[in-house]
Structure 1
């Protein structure tokens, strides 16, 4: 492996810029279509964009803050010492494969990935399971670092501490490398967006990428069968939505003014919720100056399908 850059004193924006130079471990699962929270289209958009948004949330903050604790618990649980690397690495042969790892194991050709997990996600780790996206991440690091194995330690808040060792699998690494190479060389470099996967995230990426329309009419070729299938699905979904709504209406009639009903299998609630909303019509009529000052134009595109 080759050291791309030291991360010890690296500014956050610079670090984000270096991440755009290739596929990192946290990108690998999404590129393979195995990350339930991120898609290949999202990774693509991130790599080709010149923007470096500093996206953060509470879960990400806790993951960073608890990394040292998880590493310490790993040492307590296994007796193995770990060390920081403070660097981003690049694969010797495949320059598009990057690794910014949590820890390396002292005395072993192996590394450690530290995870913090919500107790609501504990079932994903039950009976020795490891989420596929995290397995892919570890194989990615093994490939970049030419390691023999990778450990993954997961702190499930308030429940348990889990340690797994993933052995190097040459076939898995070969397949992963081929997928990442295809993604980088056939999508990122030529600026060719990957195929959508039907997720809501893909919807968001497409809407952001093609934010505004231009007055152009294209011939609609090759979509007749898919549009026919879409119509069939829409009809089925409408029937299912009506049935779902009927069940909910029956439950609401049963509850009446009560806010909850439960048995040993289900709990149903129908609680009063108070929220404040701005009366835009009244504001526009009574305070037109204030309305004009604070109104914000939002550009979006409406998708409609009609049968000829």
Structure 2
């Protein structure tokens, strides 16, 4: 059966996939362009992605990621939050599908909803730890970039972000089209998409996302030597020097912490001039060893089976070696 999709569903947004398309189709389609969730990373401003990781993903070099718990609950809660958005604003909102810009077919928009007043709605569920991103009528950077990307694709003039914070507080923000930011996004995204087409990676930065992408692309090491150029060795020397400095700073930091804890002793809160300045409470990591030693029966009742890694190492050394992560190690003697 052939599904005929309308040419334009917004002034510049062409529907290329209906909202009820099977998930495998969505996953394949999203790799054919740059989407709103990529926008902040393309600008080099995301704490969770980078230009390199987006390039690697769109180039098909990274495996598809399964939904984690936050993503799962975000999808499940989306219809409920869309209904609540309408209840609070009086603005109807309807699902659409995957759109592409008519002039830039690589620029994609999977908007959560189109609103009856001619806008888009982006729905977020976020941790209470990120609540400050939405304080004082602010909007989180990722949501702002995503909405402006959607406005670039669709040609619409405004949008809304509805964010459920900590599962208990819904914040709604109205966002107007920002032509300056949109132009920045278009230029940065067009440059990166051309790199995807050319197979040319962007420059690596020091983000966790870039290093994780590299580790996934090259998960196992071949037994061969690689001649490094002088610029790379200079970077290696800087890395080694910064590691030494990091160690010294960590010791100094721990010494300062020990001084404060030594004065707090069994107190939970330290004050200065009557104002709270530090806390030391039982909210840290759970001590499994101490718990098991003190309460062995309860610990045994709460046990669950886990993979015996040492057994894999002993019985299947070749598989153990194949699934080990790669460790970065500086050979100091070689740098002298």
Whether the TM-score (by the shorter chain) exceeds 0.5 is yes
Q: State how far apart, in whole Å, the 1-side matches of 2:60 and 2:80 are.
A: 34
Contact 2:62–2:217 (Cα < 8 Å) also in 1? no
Q: State how far apart, in whole Å, the 2-side matches of 1:74 and 1:242 are.
A: 50
Contact 1:84–1:104 (Cα < 8 Å) also in 2? yes
Partner of 1:3: 15
CA displacement at 1:11 relative to structure 2: 1.7
Q: State how far apart, in whole Å, the 2-side matches of 1:267 and 1:300 are.
A: 35
Q: State how far apart, in whole Å, the 2-side matches of 1:25 and 1:219 are.
A: 38
1:196 partner SS:
coil
Partner of 1:19: 30
How many residue pairs were aligned?
Answer: 296
Change in CA separation of 1:143 and 1:150 when aligned onto 2, cut-off 3 Å: same
CA displacement at 1:35 relative to structure 2: 1.9
Contact 1:35–1:133 (Cα < 8 Å) also in 2? yes
Does residue 58 of structure 2 align to residue 47 of structure 1?
yes
Partner of 1:92: 102
Which of 174, 177, 181 is the aligned partner of 1:168? 177
In the alignment, structure 1 segments of 5+ residues that lack a partner are: 285-289
Does residue 136 of structure 2 align to residue 130 of structure 1?
no
CA displacement at 1:247 relative to structure 2: 4.6
Does residue 114 of structure 2 align to residue 104 of structure 1?
yes
Q: State how far apart, in whole Å, the 1-side matches of 2:242 and 2:156 are.
A: 47
CA displacement at 1:123 relative to structure 2: 1.0
TM-score scaled by length of structure 2: 0.78
Deviations 1:250-303 (A, max 9, x none): 6787899x7x8544431155874327999977x69xxxxx94159633344443
- Cα RMSD, aligned residues only: 3.0
Contact 2:204–2:210 (Cα < 8 Å) also in 1? yes
Q: State how far apart, in whole Å, the 1-side matches of 2:218 and 2:19 are.
A: 35
Q: State how far apart, in whole Å, the 2-side matches of 1:53 and 1:222 are.
A: 34
CA displacement at 1:18 relative to structure 2: 0.6
Partner of 1:304: 329
Change in CA separation of 1:228 and 1:218 when aligned onto 2, cut-off 3 Å: closer
Which of 206, 211, 216 is the aligned partner of 1:198? 206
Partner of 1:287: none
Partner of 2:188: 179
Q: State how far apart, in whole Å, the 2-side matches of 1:101 and 1:158 are.
A: 22
Contact 2:131–2:165 (Cα < 8 Å) also in 1? yes
TM-score scaled by length of structure 1: 0.84
Which of 67, 70, 90 is the aligned partner of 1:56? 67
CA displacement at 1:147 relative to structure 2: 0.5
Contact 1:13–1:54 (Cα < 8 Å) also in 2? no
Q: State how far apart, in whole Å, the 2-side matches of 1:79 and 1:251 are.
A: 53
Contact 2:61–2:217 (Cα < 8 Å) also in 1? no
